[in-house]
Structures are given as structure tokens and as C-alpha cells.
Amino acid sequence: MITAIVCIAGIGLVASFVLAVADKYLSVQEDPRIGLVLSELPGANCGGCGFAGCDAYARALVEGTAPNGACPAGGEAVAAKIAGILGVEASATEKRVALVKCCGTRSEAIRVGDYNGICDCNVAAMTAGGDKGCVYGCLGYGACANVCPKGAISIYDGLAKVDKRLCIGCGKCVSVCPKKLIELVPSSATIHVLCNNPDKGPSVRKVCGVGCMGCHLCEKNSGGKEAGHFTFQGFLAKVNYSNPPTDEQIVAKCPAKCMSVDPLLESGH
């Protein structure tokens, strides 16, 4: 009994001595600001800044190799706090959120087959481009929802919907979508074109009741081509987010009903 106590106590003493010496001579000097910066970052490790996680971004910030304000999740508030710690200017960035550019729900967009394979858009897209008649449209098998670190994307009626309040703009859904129809847009923009089909009107109409036909009415109603609120790719209208339209009247006038005022908010649940 006594032997055991003496042995353990002896090992403890020797070990503590070794640790004390190691602490004195082998300690790594870490910039205390890294911890401070890290505590300000959201800690979601979403990778939206382009670094491996919040820790890597904090280190890069303190080393001065990363721009302040690259964190899409934290936005301006966090950038300002970090600027206070580091004494640098925050580069102004507007919060960006994901937008699913499709509004072809199961009732509006036709489905050409019954797909009962793996529930993942990328896999479904390998089978004849997916079961949706419109090959540009959202398949609704939730590849984006699966990668979203914040659970901001949910699938309603065969269509992915983003909750603007939860989205941190990390862009993971943008890269995973096989149809490439998710775009990061400024969170202040309210008017969006929810279609991704650049084909001519009749062929869009064949597959979807709410597809953009490229009639240019939105452009005309928002002040013509000179106003520059819209750009066109083939027969598809796109909102020019560096100069977004503000007149919400044009949404109701869209004959294809593919425009929407802030679809990101209304989808909240």
C-alpha cells in the first residue's frame, strides 16, 4: 500500500518537474490576438472565407495575409469588432445570401419520369439529366440542403428554398448544385428572377408554367435598357445585382410569373 503511494507520488513529482522545465524552455509564443479574433468569429467553420475554418482565418488575419471582412457569416458587425482588435480598416462587404433561381414547383414544372434512385441531385442529374422536364431547373433532391452548415435550405414541393435569416453566404450550396442555379446575391436586393432556363419561350412553356421567356417586359417596365437593371442570357432575364431594380410593380407585371419580391424571407418557417 505504502509502496504504491510512494511510487505514484514519485512519478507525479518527476513528471511535474519535467513539465515545468518544458513549459519554460519549449513554450510556443502565440499572438494573444489570435484568441481574441477567434472569439469574435462565428465559429461555424463554414469555409466561406476561403480558409479551412475560423481558426485558420483568425491566424491569417493576425498575420495580415487575409483581408478583414472576408467572413460572410459574420458580416460587417464582426469585421468592425476585428478591426478594433487588430487596428485595421474593415473592407466594406455586403452580406450575401444564396438564391435558388427556380420556382418550378411540382405543380408548375412537369416531371418526365419517376425517379426512385438515390436522393441526391448530383446522382439524379446523371440519369438522363434528372426527372424534371426542364433540364435547367431545381431537381429538389436536396444536395444543397445536405451541405448547408446552418440548415438554412429546406425542400418544399420539389424545390429548394433558402431562409435568408439563417443563410451565412458560405457558398457551399453554389458549388454542389449540379444545375448551377444557386447564386450568392446581396442580401439587400429584393427583386429576383427565379428561373435558370435560357431557352426560347415555347420550349420553356412546354416544360414549366412559370419559366422566363425572355420577353424583356421587366426591362421595359424598369426604365428600359439604359437603366441597366437587367441583363439577358439567351432568353433568360437576370437581375443586375450591382444595380438592382427597386420598383416592385414590375414583379406583378411579369407575364411568366417567374419574378418575386424577396422569396428568401417568405420561405422562413
Partner 1 sequence: MKVVKSAFKFKGGVHPDYNKGLANNKLIEALPMPSELVISMSQHLGAPAKCIVKPGDYVSRGQIIGERNGFISVCVRASASGLVKAVEKRLGPAGGKADAVILDTTASAPEGVEMLGDGPVLKPLDWENSSREELIARVEEAGICGMGGAGFPTSVKLNPPPGKRCEYLIINGAECEPYLCADHRVMVEKASRIRLGVEIMRKILGECAVRIAVESNKPDAIQALSEAFADISGNVEIVVLSVLYPQGSEKHQIFATVKRIVPEPPALPIDVGCVVENVSTAVAIADAVEKGEPLLERVTTVSGDAISEPKNILAPCGTKYSDLVQFCSGTKETPAKVISGGTMMGFAVPSLEIATTKTTSGILLLSSRRVFQYTSGPCINCGRCVRACPMCLNPADISKAVEANDISDAERAHVMTCIECGACSFSCPAYRTITQFCRRAKNSIRARIAAEKAKAAAAQNAAEKKEIQK
Contact residues: partner 1, CB under 8 A: 112-113, 116-118, 120, 122-123, 125-131, 133, 135, 146
Q: How far is the CB of 148 from partner 1 (least distance, A)?
A: 13
SS3 223: coil
Closer residue to partner 1 in complex, CB, 86/110: 110
Q: Which three cell numbers stand for residue 128?
A: 438522363
Q: Which three cell numbers stand for residue 10?
A: 514519485
Closer residue to partner 1 in complex, CB, 191/212: 212
Q: How far is CA 67 from CA 36, 81, 93, in A?
A: 17, 14, 11
Closer residue to partner 1 in complex, CB, 90/145: 145
Bridge partner list, 154: 161
Q: Report the distance separating Cα 98 and Cα 63, nearest Å.
A: 30
Q: Report the distance separating Cα 193 and Cα 137, nearest Å.
A: 13
Q: 63 φ, ψ to 5°? A: -70, -15
Check if the beta carbon of residue 174 is closer than 8 Å to that of residue 184. Answer: yes
Q: How far is the CB of 149 from partner 1 (least distance, A)?
A: 14
Residues 180, 129, 211, 259, Cα dihedral to 10°: -30
Q: How far is the CB of 243 from partner 1 (least distance, A)?
A: 31
Closer residue to partner 1 in complex, CB, 120/262: 120
Closer residue to partner 1 in complex, CB, 74/104: 104
